[in-house]
């Protein structure tokens, strides 16, 4: 063990791909059909609107990270600028979200492997994935970043190829006897908003869930080389890239196929490739979805282990989780998260009916996954009030603050409201609220409020390169 400090081992290309890979995952490849079921072609607007508000969240975080690039950044900001209980709840929300996502991704890998080997027990691929990713995370932060870079690259290349193939069908009729499909499917099957405004707003909750994870670059801030330059570059570029990949992919899907027939053709990604004659499309997409799932699990181990490390540094977890290897990796935190993810996989296999229980638990991670966004926006407003002298000549200001902060908070509240009135998502939101209540109560019951009050909130050091 060394000085218990994490190392700055992530390069610019790795940071940008980590942020991109954190959001372009199974949520897009497998969740697009659900969004289109609710919204029809207006799913395009759903991804666009959510992407705009995501940009404001990222810029608010970027403004603070530029000056205070610390590991577990948004939990630290909530601790410093709102209340230590908010920081504690944010850290645990992030841990819960990513552990559950990690479990779901590993379980998904086992199921996808059965495409090639139907008799293969799902826990075997799960074990291999967890061991592989645990080793990568334990080796060094650079090894984690390299894994995530190539996982993200596979997803990005696949989406680009699908967009190109789809445009070939739409504009030139490739795979359709030379007859261009055109843009009629956007309006000819019940209109652009076939399920009205309600269907559109219900779809927003799934879209928001698909975008969760982009704030991962805030977690990487403490381990990024030249953090001011690289975080700024990542924040500025990531949102338009996500919008191109999401909106480009969804545009192709709802233009090539009538939205109300998507439920009968299986994966729209597979169908698009198959339409232009790529006969191995199903196997190709299955491989890509496996890498997307591994990417999600990889990000989950990294993100949640850094939050465990941050809590241990603050005395809110056993001190052993704050121990760092000479390679700059919080060894016991990573190990605990990896074991937790694999235990979830085993329980899902051995407990009767566990798959149904797990669906509720996974759905419940959506609200805790939104907590960092709320905390970033609120912390940012407090940050500006407390440090006006730092904002005056800040080179990376949040556009339109604080108006854009309040507009984004209002958007997130609107999404939660429609999740509560939608029977399909109501239970998950309620469970999410219960989780947050338990974590907040634990903060006070364990006496952390008294320890924090006695210790006082430590002032962060402005980063100087």
Q: Residues 383-427: pLDDT tens digits?
A: 999 988 888 888 888 999 999 999 999 999 999 998 898 887 888
- Counting every residue, how long is the chain? 465
Higher pLDDT, 147 or 60: 60
Q: Under 8 Å CB-to-CB from 109, ≥6 apart: which residues?
A: 125, 126, 129, 290, 293, 294, 297
- The residue-averaged pLDDT of 160-171 equals 89
Q: What is the pLDDT of residue 99?
A: 87
Distance CA 199, CA 41 (A): 11
Read off the pLDDT band of 379 (50, 70, 90): very high
Maximum CA extent, the chain: 75
Q: What is the pLDDT of residue 465?
A: 46
Per residue in 317-362, pLDDT tens?
999 998 888 877 889 999 999 998 888 778 777 776 666 666 666 6
For 235-378, strand residue ranges (E) read none
Per residue in 287-311, pLDDT tens?
888 888 888 888 888 889 989 998 9
Look up the pTM and report it.
0.87
Tokens at residue 366, please? 């959506």
Q: What is the pLDDT of residue 204?
A: 86
Q: What is the pLDDT of residue 176?
A: 80
The residues that bridge with 10 in the sheet, in sequence order, are 224
In eight-state DSSP terms, residue 195 is T
Q: What is the pLDDT of residue 350?
A: 79
Calculate the CA 248 to chain-centre distance. Answer: 19
Of all residues in the chain, the percent with pLDDT exceeding 90 is 26
Domain 12-450: give its CATH architecture: Up-down Bundle (1.20)
Question: Domain residue spans in the chain?
Answer: 12-450
Distance CA 235, CA 222 (A): 15
Task: Select from 367, 405, 411, 408 the least CA-distant residue to 93.
Answer: 367
Q: Is 4 exposed, middle or buried (0-12, 13-18, 19+ CB in 10 A)?
A: middle
Instruction: Name the range with the highest mean pLDDT among 46-60, 198-212, 240-254.
Output: 46-60
State yes or no: pLDDT of 182 exceeds 80: yes
In eight-state DSSP terms, residue 48 is H
Total Cβ atoms within 10 A of residue 399: 11
Q: What is the pLDDT of residue 1?
A: 43
Q: What is the pLDDT of residue 265?
A: 65
Q: What is the pLDDT of residue 464?
A: 45
State yes or no: pLDDT of 31 exceeds 60: yes
Q: Is 263 exposed, middle or buried (0-12, 13-18, 19+ CB in 10 A)?
A: exposed
Phi, psi dihedrals of residue 124, rounded to the nearest 5°: -65, -50
Distance CA 103, CA 94 (A): 14
Helix (H) and strand (E) counts in the chain:
20, 0
- The residue-averaged pLDDT of 222-241 equals 73
State yes or no: pLDDT of 261 exceeds 80: yes
- The residue-averaged pLDDT of 252-267 equals 80
Output the average pLDDT for the chain: 83
Read off the pLDDT band of 8 (50, 70, 90): low
């Amino acid at each position: 063990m060394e000085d218990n400090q994490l190392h700055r081992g992530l390069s610019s290309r790795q940071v940008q791909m980590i942020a991109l890979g954190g959001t372009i995952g199974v949520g897009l490849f497998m969740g697009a059909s659900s969004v289109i079921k609710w919204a029809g072609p207006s799913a395009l607007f759903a991804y666009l609107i959510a992407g705009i508000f995501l940009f404001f969240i990222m810029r608010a975080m970027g403004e603070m990270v530029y000056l205070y690039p610390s590991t577990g950044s948004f939990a630290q900001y909530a601790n410093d600028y709102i209340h230590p209980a908010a920081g504690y709840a944010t850290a645990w929300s992030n841990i819960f979200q990513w552990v559950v996502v990690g479990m779901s991704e590993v379980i998904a890998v086992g199921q996808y492997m059965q495409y090639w080997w139907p008799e293969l027990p799902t826990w075997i691929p799960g074990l291999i994935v967890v061991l592989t990713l645990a080793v990568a995370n334990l080796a060094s932060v650079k090894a984690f970043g390299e894994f995530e870079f190539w996982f993200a690259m596979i997803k990005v290349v696949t989406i680009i190829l699908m967009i190109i193939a789809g445009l070939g069908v739409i504009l030139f009729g490739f795979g359709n006897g030379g007859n261009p499909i055109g843009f009629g499917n956007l309006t000819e099957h019940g209109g652009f908003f076939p399920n009205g405004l309600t269907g559109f707003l219900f779809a927003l909750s799934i879209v928001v869930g698909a975008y969760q994870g982009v704030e991962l670059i805030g977690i990487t801030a403490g381990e990024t080389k030249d953090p001011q330059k690289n975080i700024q570059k990542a924040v500025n570029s990531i949102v338009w890239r996500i919008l191109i990949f999401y909106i480009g992919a969804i545009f192709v899907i709802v233009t090539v196929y009538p939205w109300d027939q998507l439920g009968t053709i299986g994966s729209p990604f597979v169908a698009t490739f198959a339409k232009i004659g790529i006969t191995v499309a199903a196997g190709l997409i299955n491989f890509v979805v496996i890498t997307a799932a591994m990417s999600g699990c990889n990000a989950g181990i990294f993100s949640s282990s850094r939050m465990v490390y941050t809590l241990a540094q603050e005395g809110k977890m056993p001190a052993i989780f704050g121990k760092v290897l000479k390679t700059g990796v919080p060894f016991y935190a990573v190990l605990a998260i990896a074991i937790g993810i694999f235990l979830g996989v085993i329980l899902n296999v051995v407990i009767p009916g566990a798959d149904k229980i797990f669906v509720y638990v996974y759905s419940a991670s959506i609200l805790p996954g939104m907590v960092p966004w709320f905390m970033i926006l609120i912390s940012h407003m407090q940050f500006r009030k407390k440090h006006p002298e730092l904002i005056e000549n800040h080179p990376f200001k949040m556009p339109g603050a604080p108006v854009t902060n309040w507009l984004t908070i209002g958007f997130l509240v609107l999404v939660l409201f429609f999740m509560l009135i939608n029977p399909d998502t109501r239970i998950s939101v309620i469970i999410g609220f219960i989780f947050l209540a338990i974590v907040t109560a634990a903060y006070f019951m364990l006496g952390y409020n008294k320890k924090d009050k006695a210790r006082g909130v430590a002032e962060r050091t402005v980063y100087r390169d």
